[in-house]
Amino acid sequence: MPPLGGEYRPSTTRHRRDGVKSGTINMTYRYAFVLGRVYTLSLAELFFYFQNHGWTVKIVDISHEVLIVETDEQLEVQKIQRELGGVVKILKVLDEVKKKETDYINFALQNYFKPSKLKRDFLHNLKGKIQFGISVYLLDPELSAFGEPKRLGMFIKRAMQEAGASIRLVLPQFNSLTLASVVVTHNNLLTKGAEICVLASPTKLYVAKTLSVQDFEDYGRRDYQRPVRDDKQGMIPPKVAQMMVNFAGAKPNEILLDPFCGIGTIIQEGVLQGYKMLGTDINPVAIAGSEKNLEWFRNRYKISKGKYHVETSDVAEVSKVIEHLKQVGAFPQVSGIVTEGYLGPIYGEFPSPAEIKANFEQLTQLYTKAFQDYVKFLSKGAKVVMCLPAYKKGDSYIQLENLDFIKDIGYNLVDLIPNNLAESLPFLKLTDRATAIYDRKDQIVAREIIIFEKL
Ligand SMILES: C[S@@+](CC[C@H](N)C(=O)[O-])C[C@H]1O[C@@H](n2cnc3c(N)ncnc32)[C@H](O)[C@@H]1O
């Protein structure tokens, strides 16, 4: 991957999948992807997603909040939004406005937002009461834009009112510069007005309009409305499961396996993403829970039968399940593995060094057997996307240090973000082995997300 500003051309060109609108020639389009809280994973997901789809995108600008890209094709934004667990909003970048370093954002834009432009480009000549919101995203973490959304919003509101429009302004909370997706949705900004976003660097402002926001209600449904939950073992959040599915880079309708499927979160997310999913777990109660959840999911999301199969198996013997399914012609070739895996016990208090050591030893044994068994059915280049426990201590993590036992079986560790790009992005939070950690506030056992590739 090239340094900033260069073209991002995937190393392997895969067949074009849908997501791109055809029939447009010699035009370029700029989109901005607003990144989720764990932005390193969000960026990694985007780069994998572009690569999986064989898209060439030029990186225009990038920060811990937003990635701006240029493509020569129009994107099917709603579909892409549904398929990316780590992207909070997708924006269309309409203009680029120069700014003096010392100027306030609203000053630099005072001649930009004319009522005619606002009506045409942002509000689509909407009639009646218009709702509009403002967010400011920073392209440089050193930049301060305190109070800018309000100043900008008031300025636009006045201009529109003078032009005779009836307008309601939705602003970020006092200590924030941006509107959360939930606020954009609840205020109907995308249907009865617009969210105007300014992406600010010290010398340049990109003016953008929000095209879509993450459907937080649907993610909540896919997580909390399932008939069976398992708070003892823990469940992976659907958004993270979706990102991990994207890291596997399989083609539509290919088969992915989760050999520690629990109550089926990764299975459901994989099916929703267009894959056939196979789930196994050593615990028959978890498999019964999976079956119940997936039946609910199938009805709720109108998924046809035969898109998934779950059954009880120890991971050390999962190849036997696969061999049997192959023989009956149900699930012929597994293209990759996406699994949260087993992370060891869940703790209420930080575990002692001896407990951590014992867990790491147990996991080393478990994963030695698992990766040895995977060899029997994975093809060269197939990915194993999984989590390892990362015990959060202050600002640092205690991780399973030595992964040679997996490499020795015949797997390579894949960089989550290619090294040459990562080097130019100092804000990334990558571990020493180029993996990233998904954690939540007050969580003792965080998840290190790691990708192996079969040699
Ligand atoms: C953290 S849970 C997975 C939860 C799952 N990702 C979900 O969201 O529902 C780990 C799972 O690994 C399973 N497990 C533990 N040891 C196993 C083994 N040797 N073989 C297969 N599954 C195992 C446990 O039964 C448990 O369901």
**Each residue of 152-193: pLDDT tens digit?**
999 999 988 888 888 999 999 988 999 999 999 999 999 989
Diameter over CA atoms, the chain: 73
pLDDT computed for residue 19 by the predictor: 55
Ligand 1 mutation target, pool 226, 240, 260, most atoms within 8 A of CB = 260
* pTM of the shown model: 0.93
Three-class SS state of 220 = helix
Q: Which atom of ligand 1 is nearest to the CA of 369?
A: 19
Domains and CATH numbers, the chain: 7-214 (3.30.2130.30), 221-454 (3.40.50.150)
**Spacing, Cα 281 to ligand 1 middle (Å):** 6
Give the other-Cβ count within 10 Å of 102's Cβ: 7
Lowest mean pLDDT among 227-236, 245-254, 278-287: 227-236
Given a contact cutoff of 8 angstroms between Cβ atoms, the answer to whether 336 and 377 are in contact is no
From 223, 230, 233, mutation site for ligand 1 pocket: most ligand atoms within 8 A of C-beta: 233
- pLDDT tens per residue across span 346-393: 888 999 999 999 999 999 999 999 999 999 999 999 999 999 999 998
Q: How far apart are CA 178 and CA 209, in angstroms?
A: 13
Q: Nearest C-alpha to atom 26 of ligand 1 is from which residue?
A: 262
Alpha carbon distance 198, 205 (integer Å): 6
Distance CA 356, CA 359 (A): 5
Contacts of range 349-352, beta carbons closer than 8 Å, 24 or more positions apart: 349/444, 350/391, 350/393, 350/444, 351/391, 351/444
* Neighbour tally for 382: CB within 10 Å: 22
